[in-house]
Amino acid sequence: MLPEFRNEPFTDFSKPENISAFQSALTEVRKRFGKRYPAIIGGEQVGAAETFDSINPANPQEVVGTFAKADVALAERAVQTAYETFQTWQYVAPEERARYLFKAAAIMRRRKHEFSACMVYEVGKNWVEADVDTAEALDFLEYYGRQMLKLGGPQSLTPYPPEELDLRYIPLGVGMVIPPWNFGSIMAGMTAASIVAGNTVVLKPSSAAPAVAALFAEIMEEAGLPPGVLNFLPGPGGSIGDFLVGHPKTRFIAFTGSKEVGLRINQLAAQPQPGQIWIKRCVLEMGGKDAVVVDETADLDAAAEGIVVSAFGYQGQKCSAGSRAIIVQDVYDALVEKVVARAQEITVGDMTDQKNWMGPVIDEAAFRKIMNYIEIGTEEGRLLLGGHALDRPGYFIEPTIFADVPRDARIAKEEIFGPVLSIIKAQDFADALAIANDTEYGLTGSLYSRNRSHLERARREFHVGNLYFNRKCTGALVNVHPFGGFNMSGTDSKAGGPDYLLLFTQAKSIGELL
């Protein structure tokens, strides 16, 4: 009998043996730099006419891996293979499908530092952020496996003699899983949920993070997953993304990424294609312009810590990042001073060095976009900290803080996805709440307050999918904080929650007259 689900413990990096183990993993992953990775279709390694490189953003001269650049012909082969495999995979018992996830979790647990080290190099995570990401990937595997056992079992229905009643949750079909580069756990979770629900998958990883996805595909293969259930198809979204989304045999699209791409997917998926007999389902998680609100009753030291960690954790490259701090005027000056002082303690550098807390942004395009926003910010607010790139190889930007930012400024409204914090002054709590809600997004939010009426009002009126009180607005845990947002932040799909697998299934009600 399976033990009850519990979240995976994080690694204690204060212990010398854990430091040594992680350093060894970094060394082993580095030995694979420059390795060539094919597409995997139906269990077969398939090359492509062209390739592309995944690079280390801390040192762009280093190639983490060289990947097959899938074209439309390979994409067609992947979809057809997934469709053919679905004809048998859909009838595999839910408990058997769940066991593949449990087996994969056991393998990943043995290789957890390897998985984390890959993210250190490929996407610039520090040791703690990478370890937490791997722990979440393990949580998704364990949790979704258990949820499928529940969903695949008898469902409670009102008796209606003399009929024998049954409600089954059956899979949808072929799914496109299009994950982001910033969280390997999201890639693993979207894929695992699709598979355990009985669907087959074409996994098109982000071109910035294909090595992490290739490692996950390797783990699933080692777990014995039948060929064709998971098809690994690296390549640029611009050339194959539209084709995959629009294919008549595509049944659903699970996407996490930018608002612009998410809306395009939603639009393409809504257009029926010749031969298509279903309405495609979209599971979309997009961006955020998340706020940490602080009222006059708050613990200012705790609020300063929460603001800094929310804004600059993983270089602000989280959809949940608290890129706005909205502070009531009574405590504004005192708290701004504390925030700047705390942010000045941040160490920036190569993430292979444990002492560094903040690393590079993901690539040159992101670097240029963030630096452009910083230039805009110098016109819109008062620069208190940072504002510059670091003079070293890699895409390093200082933690940057602007104060006195107008509530309608671009840096207060638009998602920057980098280490840039906008601090906005509010007249009172009601005004702060209005500013927080004045955005097209609705993903995460945080309120620091010791005023019960303010906390209760926020429960009702702070319009985000994940709301936190007196803590940071990042760091959701599987089945502790089911994650997903409103409005332009997505379809509020609540990854890591009890209803997530419902998005990858359809209900079939059966009644037999006896």
Q: With beta carbons less than 8 A apart as the criterion, state whether 469 and 315 touch.
A: no
Please name the helix (run of DSSP H) or strand (run of DSSP E) that holds residue 263, with its range, or none.
helix 259-269
Token output for 505: 């299934």
> What are the phi and psi torsion angles at 85 (to 5°)?
-65, -35
Among the listed residues 8, 285, 398, 415, the single catalytic one is 285
Q: How much is the average pLDDT of 366-392?
A: 97
Q: How much is the average pLDDT of 212-219?
A: 98
Return the closest-CA partner of residue 400 out of 332, 354, 348, 441. Answer: 348
Three-state SS at 35: strand
How far is the C-alpha of 284 from the C-alpha of 259, rounded, in Å? 9
Please give the CATH architecture assigned to the domain spanning 291-478.
Answer: 3-Layer(aba) Sandwich (3.40)
Return the closest-CA partner of residue 208 out of 176, 180, 173. Answer: 180
pTM: 0.97
Among the listed residues 319, 398, 415, 473, the single catalytic one is 319
CA torsion sign, 181 to 482 to 465 to 252? Answer: positive
**30-52 per-position pLDDT tens digit:** 999 999 999 999 999 999 999 99
Q: With beta carbons less than 8 A apart as the criterion, state whether 322 and 477 touch.
A: no
Q: Is the predicted pLDDT of residue 154 greater than 90, yes or no? A: yes
Identify the CATH number of the domain defined by range 27-286+493-513: 3.40.605.10
Mean pLDDT of the chain: 97
> For position 493, what pLDDT does the model report?
87
Does the annotation count 285 as an active-site position?
A: yes
Give the whole-number percent of the chain exceeding pLDDT 70: 100
**62-81 per-position pLDDT tens digit:** 999 999 999 999 999 999 99
> For position 236, what pLDDT does the model report?
86
Three-state SS at 252: strand
Q: With beta carbons less than 8 A apart as the criterion, state whether 292 and 216 touch.
A: no
Q: Is the predicted pLDDT of residue 206 greater than 90, yes or no? A: yes
> For position 239, what pLDDT does the model report?
80
Q: Is the predicted pLDDT of residue 292 greater than 90, yes or no? A: yes
Q: How much is the average pLDDT of 265-281?
A: 96
Query: For the chain, what are the domain ranges?
Result: 27-286+493-513, 291-478
